[in-house]
Every structure is written in C-alpha cells, then in structure tokens.
Amino acid sequence: MASKILKRENGIILALDMETREKALEICRETSDFVDAIKVGYPLILNTDPAIIGELKQFKKPIITDLKVADIPFVSKRICEAAVKSGADYVIVHGFVGSDVVKACSGVARIFVVAEMSHAGAEEFITKDALMIADIAREYAEGIVAPATRPQRIKELRKAVGDLIIISPGVKAQGANIGDATMAGADFEIIGRGIYEATNPKKAAEEFSKRIR
C-alpha cells in the first residue's frame, strides 16, 4: 500500500454533519489548525452538493467521506470511485457486507472499514462480528472505525488490527470523554457536535487536541 496520507498531529478528525455549506466552511476556517482530517457525510453532502467534498480541500487536510458504503461490490465500487472523483482522500465502507465488497472498494479508494459502531443498537448485530470484520479490514483497509463509547472494545480491536489506523467516534455528544479512545489505543478521535456546536468551536478544538496529545 502507498504511504499513509493521514498523519497524527492533533489526534482529531472533525466531523461535519451540519446542513449548510456556509456553516461547514466557517467551522473549518476556525478549527482546521487543530484537526488532522475533515470527515464529511450524508447530511452535509445531501443538503448541499457533492462538490462540497472538493471545496473542503482548501483547508489542506485529508478529506474522509463517511458514506458507510454497504451495497453489492459493483455498486459499492462505483460509489467509491465517485467519491474519489469528487476529491475524497478516503472513503468509509461497512465491513459487515463482506470481504468482496471491501476488496472491491479497496481497489479504487483508500478505505476505512467500520468494524463496530458507537450507538447502543450496535450491540444487537455488528458488535458480535466486529473482530471478524477487523480481520477483513487488515487485508484491505488503511484503518478501521471503532467506538469511543466502548474503550474496552477498542483495546480488543487494536490487538486484532495491529498497526492499522483506528479512528473513533462517540466523543462528547455521544458520551465518551475526550482521550478515552486514545488511551484505549485509537489513533484519532472523531468529533462533530462537540466542536461545531460549542460556543467557541476554535477554543474547543484547540483544547481537545491539547488533551488528546
């Protein structure tokens, strides 16, 4: 695999799930010095335009498109190709759909695989298979997504994925404390509302990155 383009300085990936382009650009302008990558997903892309992916590249950070791709291999590959064409540096792909999907996506994009999710309902299905999903990720992905809300699971997943990058959502708004995921073995904490809904997003991002480092 080519060298990794996601480098750890602040330990934060900024999640943008707001509804307007203006708000997204404003938050990036205020906080981009304190984050290592920008993650964009359906709420922002569908409320604006896929061109927002390319537009965010002005902040000179890797752009992760959180599309949680989970279709048949042919369609999943097309989705990844379109994301890369729009400017995505990484695409987030589901692992529960199987190795053929993950393999197809990895042929056209740098990918992160969702190994396990952060919300309560994750325990109904995906948690049970997370370690098997991690094995698939190890073969095809640059990293995995693992839940900051369950640090013990991050420890187990770290053992399973070796030196793959672990990115971890669930911080602040979903209940995990800043630094919990990092202490358990994650490389980056994904933070959305904890930053963009803060009274002073710049101060919040700066303080969180200090604590994580």
DSSP codes, 86-143 = TT-SEEEEESTT-HHHHHHHHTTS-EEEE-S-SSGGGGGTHHHHHHHHHHHHHHH-SE
For residue 135, which amino acid is it? D
Give min distance, CB of 3 to ligand 3DU, in A.
Answer: 25
Q: What is the contact mask toward ligand 3DU in residues 148 to 187, using x (rule: CB under 6 A)?
A: ---------------------xxxxxx-------------
Q: Which CB atom, from 16 or from 104, has the smaller least distance to ligand 3DU?
A: 16
Query: What angle in degrees, to the nearest 10, is found between the helix axes of 126-140 and 151-161?
Result: 30
By CB under 6 A, name the one of 28, 44, 56, 117 that touches ligand 3DU.
117
Nearest in space to 158 (alpha carbons), one of 138, 177, 172, 140: 138
Q: Which CB atom, from 107 or from 119, has the smaller least distance to ligand 3DU?
A: 119
DSSP codes, 61-83 = S-EEEEEEE-S-HHHHHHHHHHH
Q: What is the contact mask toward ligand 3DU in residues 40 to 79, using x (rule: CB under 6 A)?
A: -x------------------------x-------------
Q: Could you identify the residue written with the tokens 């809300």?
A: 149
The verdict on whether 68 is a catalytic residue reads yes
Q: Choose the catalytic residue: 68, 155, 202, 203.
A: 68
Give min distance, CB of 199 to ligand 3DU, in A.
Answer: 16
What's the half-sphere exposure (Cβ side, CA atoms, 13 Å) at 156? 15
**Residue 32 token pair:** 């981009």
What is the C-alpha separation between 193 and 203, in angstroms, rounded? Answer: 14
Give min distance, CB of 133 to ligand 3DU, in A.
Answer: 12
Which listed range, 18-26, 113-121, 158-166, 180-188, lies at the site for ligand 3DU (CB under 6 A)? 113-121
The contact set with ligand 3DU (CB under 6 A) reads: 15, 17, 41, 66, 114, 117-118, 145, 147, 169-174, 190-194
Which residues are marked as active site?
68
